[in-house]
Structure 1
């Protein structure tokens, strides 16, 4: 039976609203395109643009194909989201404790005395900051590993509304024209253990959030207009032991239409579950082992692609007709000795019948999406947290030292260009119109012709 992305309908809607309206009432951005949430309008890293820039330079005063650069205060690894003439990111300011407590077992002592959470809006044309909104200040926030940030989850942007999510530290709905906070929720408990990472997702009238912590694990759906909880589904996973570090995960929900039925796929530690997006009823679960999973599920044709987190196993499932515990017969293929260097932090990307990934340690790979047969594997420089994106026949890989490798989406490795910006990338790229929006640790860049 035919399986397809539910995102196709959303992509058409997204392009339409970008062309007709923006949160601030201004004209649409170049090409009328948008990048509303984590991994873009189709939630799989694909951009409609066929002419995205492939080369840029910043060396001192020399800048090539850099339209503007804007500093962003604080620390945040969330990706930029784009609609019309606005770009939004989230960030957090930290006040360090001059006399931090001494850790006695468990996670390290928290050095942060106070954290403030912000939503920042940048004008797409000029790079000028339009809104810098303090959403909440929290005393003695839970521990966040220095590698992570309190503002790692990517927000979601739609006409007139931004949904800024910081895990258990708060979720807020912001009027994008005025900067007014319309509603906020700070009552979802979750010990992230190393800091938050799961991004917000919106489909229809519901906002979906995943809380996979060391102490509890659940998925919630909120009424995006009011913030009211519509349903909550506890994970009820059987873990191999009671170590909370093995229970946490950082994945983002993804909605697909499978056999004419909508399913919300939510990876977690040990298992990936699918839910009825309207009621939260569990439809099926696939047990794969592993923890720290952060990759968002993607589909191509009739196959659903997942990985297992820190155990770095890759699976291609046939999701049509699944119910309850997923049998081994539903696995079309899985990574073995021939498929090495599976991505853990970066999500997967499927294009041209090929599956592309980059491991945390910097090995980029391409396999046949239908069979899992390896096509090529190439060591790129640096380490990776950002998820790759696809535009104009190319795959963009951004590393933590600031390099972006642009590679042809083909069965043979073809390097198009290598570019570098200072400070490095933790956030995934965004592409809208004919421009690439890159967030380094300190700044937001618009890459494109001036």
Structure 2
């Protein structure tokens, strides 16, 4: 209602407000890559001049070792690249900051000690949540182990919270997001399922909302989720689209009040939702993932009223999808790439990628899709109504973290290294 009031009284102010609360929610001007799936929260970038081919001996500006075991994706702000990390046993959690120009480590700081780390699935890590960064501050999140806000110049911890319980059971995965002055966190575990909004300046709780979901089971393993939410605006209503186990819920991001929900059979949702201005697209997780296209204009339970289509074939459980020019592109966990018509859900093409396995989400930039796999190969192809591969670039180690883009560079994290990749032919 406040946004509508501004629209009637102050058109110029309203335009700025809409820009800040639109589907893209750009919290940092490019070339920053400030959060999981980048400045538009959808894996896309307006960057140009990016490399198409590389190897360990070609187009590598720098390669910096990063200690520990962590699947979080890198974030970039100005001349800094940040990643979280963890000891393999999960007893020490920290951050590493690297100079974008040189690859030199600027900060290597332990944030939390953990006396009794929780069990994680062998495919997960104790630091899989991607940080979110803005001018002067970075927010790091390790699920129930804790959340902290750091000064990006000094790496000094400005505030921390370690009082939100959750048995993640197979490890945490959801990444924090920022909306206005709020840092929003999701906890979907075996025992507790809720969302928290903190004042990003102080860390004080603004609101907390327990999930109102009929799970249909007492098995906590089927109540988990790993997805990162996003904020959209549709018909003047700003919504926090929050995938969980068994349902996706739309909330008022300022209060936590629920607008609507729709149900599905799956659990452990991990994909970040997409939005095209008319429909949201939600992957439902494990237990044979589905992809739902849903109109976000409803109230209450909209399962039978606002779902436009459902697709069951080739839907990834872990990697998120891409939406480009009315086409949906995705690569499932077993390496099958699929293109769907976003309006109808109809399959356009399908391609098997040499029996590779995928966890990282593909990105789109410079007219190309980049898709790194767990065996160390990043395939580069052109989005369109037929599959057209440009390159398959092999590095020594596999990739679980998603790529970041900064300027004309790709920032890629493998199991033990951080790379800056850029076309060196013009230099």
Q: TM-score range by the shorter chain?
A: over 0.9
Partner of 2:374: 400
Partner of 2:13: none
- What is the TM-score with the length of structure 2 in the denominator? 0.92
Q: Check if 1:358 corresponds to 2:373.
A: no
Partner of 1:220: 196
Q: 1:47 aligns with which of 45, 48, 67?
A: 45
Asked if the contact 1:265–1:274 (Cα under 8 Å) also holds between the matched residues in 2, the reply is: yes
1:208 Cα deviation after fit: 0.5
Q: Check if 1:436 corresponds to 2:406.
A: no
- What is the TM-score with the length of structure 1 in the denominator? 0.88
Partner of 1:271: 247
Q: 1:342 aligns with which of 315, 324, 336?
A: 315
1:155 Cα deviation after fit: 0.3
Q: 1:390 aligns with which of 350, 358, 364?
A: 364
1:69 Cα deviation after fit: 0.3
1:233 Cα deviation after fit: 0.5
Matches for 1:40-79 after TM superposition, within 5 Å: 40-58=38-56, 63-79=57-73
Q: 1:300 aligns with which of 276, 298, 317?
A: 276
Q: 1:185 aligns with which of 161, 186, 194?
A: 161
> Residues 263 and 247 of structure 1: is their aligned pair in 2 closer, same or farther, counting only changes over 3 Å?
same
Q: Deviations over 1:21-52 (max 9, x none)?
A: xxxxxxxxxxx611000000000000111221
Q: 1:244 aligns with which of 198, 220, 223?
A: 220
1:327 Cα deviation after fit: 3.8
Partner of 1:21: none
Asked if the contact 2:225–2:269 (Cα under 8 Å) also holds between the matched residues in 1, the reply is: yes
Deviates more, 1:164-173 or 1:134-143: 134-143
Asked if the contact 1:51–1:391 (Cα under 8 Å) also holds between the matched residues in 2, the reply is: no
1:236 Cα deviation after fit: 2.5
Partner of 2:4: none
Asked if the contact 1:47–1:432 (Cα under 8 Å) also holds between the matched residues in 2, the reply is: no
Report the secondary structure of 1:35's partner residue: coil
Partner of 1:35: 33
Q: Check if 1:379 corresponds to 2:352.
A: yes
1:418 Cα deviation after fit: 0.6
User: Aligned partners of 1:447, 1:93: CA distance in 2, in Å?
Assistant: 26
Partner of 1:105: none
Report the secondary structure of 1:245's partner residue: helix
> Residues 307 and 396 of structure 1: is their aligned pair in 2 closer, same or farther, counting only changes over 3 Å?
same
Q: 2:137 aligns with which of 134, 149, 161?
A: 161
Structure 1: stretches of 5+ with no match in the other structure: 16-31, 95-111
Report the secondary structure of 2:43's partner residue: coil
1:334 Cα deviation after fit: 1.1
Partner of 1:368: 341
Q: Check if 1:312 corresponds to 2:289.
A: yes
Q: Deviations over 1:384-422 (max 9, x none)?
A: 110110011211111111111111110111001110112
Q: Deviations over 1:66-105 (max 9, x none)?
A: 10000000010000000100000000013xxxxxxxxxxx
Report the secondary structure of 1:91's partner residue: strand
Q: Check if 1:91 corresponds to 2:85.
A: yes
Aligned residues: 405
Q: 1:148 aligns with which of 108, 112, 124?
A: 124
Asked if the contact 2:400–2:414 (Cα under 8 Å) also holds between the matched residues in 1, the reply is: yes
Asked if the contact 1:65–1:449 (Cα under 8 Å) also holds between the matched residues in 2, the reply is: yes
Q: Deviations over 1:343-363 (max 9, x none)?
A: 110111100110000111110
User: Aligned partners of 2:303, 2:291: CA distance in 1, in Å?
Assistant: 16
Q: Deviations over 1:128-158 (max 9, x none)?
A: 0000111011111111222100100000010
Report the secondary structure of 1:376's partner residue: strand
User: Aligned partners of 1:151, 1:427: CA distance in 2, in Å?
Assistant: 11
Q: Check if 1:14 corresponds to 2:28.
A: yes
User: Aligned partners of 1:355, 1:323: CA distance in 2, in Å?
Assistant: 26
Q: Check if 1:418 corresponds to 2:395.
A: no
User: Aligned partners of 1:218, 1:159: CA distance in 2, in Å?
Assistant: 29
Q: Deviations over 1:305-363 (max 9, x none)?
A: 0121113111111112x111014231121115xxx211110111100110000111110
Q: Which runs of 4+ in 1 moved over 3 A?
A: 3-10
Q: For the aligned residues, what is the CA RMSD?
A: 1.5
